[in-house]
Structure formats: structure tokens, C-alpha cells
Structure 1
Amino acid sequence: MNLRPHRREPADINLTPLLDVVFLLLIFFMVSTTFKDEARLRVQLPEAQGESIPAQAPEMIRIVIDRAGRFYVNDQALVDEKPLTLTRALTGALGERRQMVPGDAQPPPVLIQADASTPHQAVITAMDAASQAGLNRIAFAATLPASAEAGQPDGAAP
């Protein structure tokens, strides 16, 4: 009769198969994942100490956004603030310009003039609508600081 306590050998857990499965899953997800390529707009950001717009500036499509987030395309108010309405207005303005300047292959630049208190969403909506209308050259209007306005005749920078 054996009265000694029976000691069990410690269980060996082999982690090699688990690591193999984890690495195979990692490789699978790395190979099969596609990264979303976000739509990018080429934006020319103005500097606060910029230069004035030259007298013979290229013909632009102007989007004005007031404090409440209402849109105006070439000084014409839109009926609502929906992105689809803005896209249609920009497409219409682009069509009018193409009729005035036939053979112009490059779309005109878009100038966004937003009030300082305009909600950020309204500016993003304007940029998105311009992109959907095929207008990818965007500029923002800014005013010069009060100290710099003394030297400039019109006080606006592109």
C-alpha cells in the first residue's frame, strides 16, 4: 500500500498551435482588409496676411454662407440648406459659365465666403457639394487684420 500523496505532474499547455492560429488570422485580416480612400479636395487655404485679389481675377463661382448657414450661389439665395439643392445650384452655375465660355475644359474655381460665425458643418457641406458638382479647385475668402488693412485698398485677401 502506497501512502505517499500522489503528485500530479503539472499540465503542459502548448501555446504553439494557438500562436499559429493567431498569426494566420492576423495575416488573413491584413491581406483582405481594404482601407477606405476618403474623398480629398484640393483646397487653397488663404493666409491672414495675404495679397488682394488682382483686378483681372479669373471668373469664379462664389458661395456665400451667412451666420445662419444659408447658402448663396453667385449672389442668389437658395431655397433651403440641403446639400442636394446646393449641388444643383453649382451644377447650374457651371452650365451657365460653360455657355458663356465655350471650349473651356477646366472647371472654374469656387470661392467660399463664409461668415466667421458660420457653423463648420455648412462649410463642409459647401465643399462636398462643390466636389459632387465636379468643382475641385476651392479657395476661401478671408479679410486682413485691422492692422494690415491700412496698407491695402480693399481689405480682402483671397
Structure 2
Amino acid sequence: MKFQRKRREKVDITLISMIDVLFVLLLFFMVSTTFNRHTEVKIKLPEANGKEADNHPKSVNVTIDEKGVYFLMSGNEGQSRRLPDQKRETLMRELVRLSQEEKELPFIISADAKTPHQSVMTVLDVAGQVGFDHITFATQESEGSEETDK
């Protein structure tokens, strides 16, 4: 008796459908991810009316929370960091280190609406002593106010 072997078919794995699925997943994650410039420091900015300032990719940001705690972020860093202590000398040392790179960078003070006035004045004074010229304050637009151009 003569047994014949069945011919084996060549098995192919098509990768095109797997690649399609991966691209769809990549697209989904890219769309659903939020890229937020603000960090975990939660502050409520004071309200003001005025035109929006120019957005610079590089700047020095000092964020002050409602308790007067300083957080510092330069244009190179992606995340703000809390200063080790809240002393004036520590703030000055960190700003001097940042100002060695460029003193022409915009200096933005983002203070909570309930921040003690002394904390804001300390940052303003130290920034001026270090040599920053372009100092601005971050605010949010007042709700219920409408601009009228006539």
C-alpha cells in the first residue's frame, strides 16, 4: 500500500493588517493625550483685561501658590520644580544660575490670586536685581467682561 503525503501549503503571515492596527492605536493615543504646559501646581490667576502677550518658546517662569511657595521653570526645563526652601537667597541663587544663559528671556510671574503680596514683591525685586528686564505677570481674562472697539 502506497501512502502519499499531503502537500503542505506555504503559510504566510500578513503583517499589513497588524501594521494598520498599530497605526490606528498610535493615532488614538496621540489624539487622546493632552499636552499641558502647566504642571501640578494649582493656582487661580488674578483677572485682568488687556491684550494677550507674545508667546515665547523660551522664558523663565516663577509660579507662586496661594501659600507663597515658589516653583521655578526655565525654557529648557519641561517641568517646574519647587525650590528647596523659600528664602530670598535661594531664589536669587537659582535666578542667577538661569540668568547666566540669557538675561533677555521673558520673566513671567504666575501668582495665585490669594498669594501674599510680599511673596510677589520678593520675586519682582530679586528678578530686577539679577538683571531681568522683560518682567510680566500672568493673568486670566475676566469673565463677563467684553471688549468694545469703537
Give the TM-score taking structure 1 as reference length: 0.53
Distance 1:136 1:52 in 2: 19
Aligned to 1:113, the other structure's residue is in SS state strand
Could you tell me which residue of structure 2 aligns to residue 93 of structure 1? 98
Structure 1: stretches of 5+ with no match in the other structure: 1-46, 99-105, 150-158
Could you tell me which residue of structure 1 aligns to residue 56 of structure 2? 57
Residue 126 of structure 1 and its aligned partner are, at CA, apart by 0.2
Residue 48 of structure 1 and its aligned partner are, at CA, apart by 1.7
User: Do structure 1's residue 130 and structure 2's residue 127 form an aligned pair?
Assistant: yes
Distance 1:109 1:93 in 2: 12
Indicate the RMSD between aligned Cα atoms, in angstroms: 2.4
Counterpart pick for 2:109 among 107, 112, 116: 112
Distance 1:51 1:109 in 2: 17
Question: Which fold has the larger relative contact order, with Cα–Cα distance below 8 Å and residues 6 or more apart in sequence?
Answer: 1
Could you tell me which residue of structure 2 aligns to residue 140 of structure 1? 137
Structure 2: stretches of 5+ with no match in the other structure: 1-46, 74-79
Could you tell me which residue of structure 2 aligns to residue 71 of structure 1? 70
Letter in 2 for 1:89: E
Distance 1:90 1:59 in 2: 15
Letter in 2 for 1:69: G
Give the TM-score taking structure 2 as reference length: 0.56
Residue 127 of structure 1 and its aligned partner are, at CA, apart by 0.7
Q: How many residues align?
A: 95
Could you tell me which residue of structure 1 aligns to residue 25 of structure 2? none
Letter in 2 for 1:127: L
Residue 72 of structure 1 and its aligned partner are, at CA, apart by 0.9
Q: Which residues in structure 2 correspond to 1:15-26 (within 5 Å)? A: none
After superposing on structure 2, the runs of 4+ consecutive aligned residues of structure 1 that deviate more than 6 Å are: none
Distance 1:115 1:60 in 2: 19
Residue 148 of structure 1 and its aligned partner are, at CA, apart by 4.9
More helix by percentage: 1
Letter in 1 for 2:85: D
- Of the two, which has the highest radius of gyration? 1
